Amino acid sequence: MKSPSLLTAVIVVTLAMPASAQMGGTTTSGYKREPGMTASTIPAPLREIGFDQNIGRPLALDVDVVDERGATRRMRDYFGARPVILVFAYYSCPMLCTQVVSGLASAVGVLSLKPGRDFDVIVVSFDPRDTPKAAAAKKAQYLERYTEPGADGASHFLTASQDSIQQLTRSAGFRYTWDAPTQQFAHPTGVIVLTPDGRMARYMFGIEYGPRDLRLALVEASAGKVGNAVDTLLLYCYHYDPMTGRYGLVVMRTLRIAGASTVFALGAFVLVLLRRERRTS
């Protein structure tokens, strides 16, 4: 019988912050420890999992994968046209992976961005025992929640060999481990947004993803080819925080915009008054 204790611990830690951020050669711990928790009290599997944020680095694209229909493809076949939301999830996962996929379906479901036009979704199983049949079943569950036209063709649920899985997860900075006592994988939870040419752009953690954060990540990953002028303005006011995987308000930039808007409004008001004065004189 599978022990729930490890799953509970995984949920507590991953929801707090399931990542270690590695940028510019500097690594900082992303785990939030509860009072009194030490490294020796954290279950061993949890000390080995997380995300290394390889922002700007390429995903391993020259590896073979198998789609939900059983066709063998190259990973790079899914890149080149638009940003990609990448998820690592194994299809027999009893809890977290299903929640990650469901959380993503909920987030993209409220975006005005269109699947297949503005972004694609790729889910890769990191369990080499998973089959295309299992991938197809998981995709069907995803599409029950995400019913946007074009979602079927823009959503790819893949399986792969152990060698391909290792190349993909290592290049993406996704660290997981097999826990023999529970016969389950211990793994972090989150999604990765990649550029059209397959470079890691943004990491978002947990099992729920703010639609605004996800939209801004896709706009940034596309280098402005996705989105509109409002998104450009929001990206000026909001800054990506790699430790939280979210976009936070940049106060000084916001104040500058507010100040410029105030000056513009006052100038327009003065101009209107001058015109009225000239007409009455």
Are 122 and 87 within 8 A, CB to CB?
yes
Length of the chain: 281
Pinpoint the alpha helices (H) of 87-154. 96-109, 132-145, 151-154
Instruction: Identify the pLDDT of residue 10.
Output: 44
pLDDT band at 181 (very low <50, low <70, confident <90, very high): confident
d(CA 118, CA 105): 15
In this predicted structure, the answer to whether residue 128 has a pLDDT above a threshold of 60 is yes
Please state the rounded mean pLDDT for residues 132-151. Answer: 96
Tokens of 237: 């006011």
Other Cβ atoms closer than 10 A to 148? 18
Of residues 203 and 5, more confidence is placed in: 203
What was the pLDDT predicted at 275? 65
**∠ CA 165-223-246, rounded to 5°:** 65
Tokens 């450009």 label which residue?
A: 232
Nearest to 104 by CA among 92, 89, 93: 89
Name the pairing type of β-strands 246-249 and 72-74.
unpaired
Higher pLDDT, 99 or 94: 99
Confirm if 205 and 190 have CB atoms less than 8 A apart: yes
Q: What is the H or E stretch that residue 175 is in?
A: strand 174-175
**Banded model confidence at residue 152, pLDDT cuts 50, 70, 90:** very high
Mean pLDDT of 184-200: 95
Residue whose pair of structure tokens reads 């711990």 in the numeric block: 29
Classify strands 246-249 and 238-241 as parallel, antiparallel or unpaired. antiparallel
Instruction: Name 235's Cβ contacts closer than 8 Å, sequence gap at least 6.
Output: 216, 219, 220
pLDDT at residue 225, as a whole number: 65
> Could you give phi then psi for residue 177, rounded to 5 degrees?
-150, 155
Give the separation between CA 221 and CA 230, rounded to whole angstroms.
Answer: 16
| Number of neighbouring beta carbons within 10 Å of residue 28 | 11
Q: Which residues partner with 184 through β-bridges?
A: 179
Of residues 10 and 80, more confidently modeled: 80
pLDDT for the residue numbered 185: 93
- Local confidence band at 107 (pLDDT 50, 70, 90 cut-offs): very high
In this structure, the dihedral spanned by the alpha carbons of residues 52, 55, 58 and 61, taken in order and rounded to 10 degrees, is 60
Tell me how far apart the alpha carbons of residues 180 and 211 are, in angstroms, rounded to a whole number: 36
Over its C-alpha atoms, the chain yields an Rg (Å, rounded) of 22
Q: Mean pLDDT, the chain, as a whole number? A: 78
Q: For residues 243 and 21, is the Cβ–Cβ distance under 8 A?
A: yes
CB 158 within 8 A of CB 135: yes
What is the crossing angle of helices 211-221 and 229-237, to 10°? 100
pLDDT of residue 179 exceeding 90? no
Q: What is the pLDDT of residue 226?
A: 59
- pLDDT score for 36: 52
Q: pLDDT for 219-264, tens place per residue?
A: 889 886 654 555 555 455 666 677 777 777 653 344 344 444 454 4
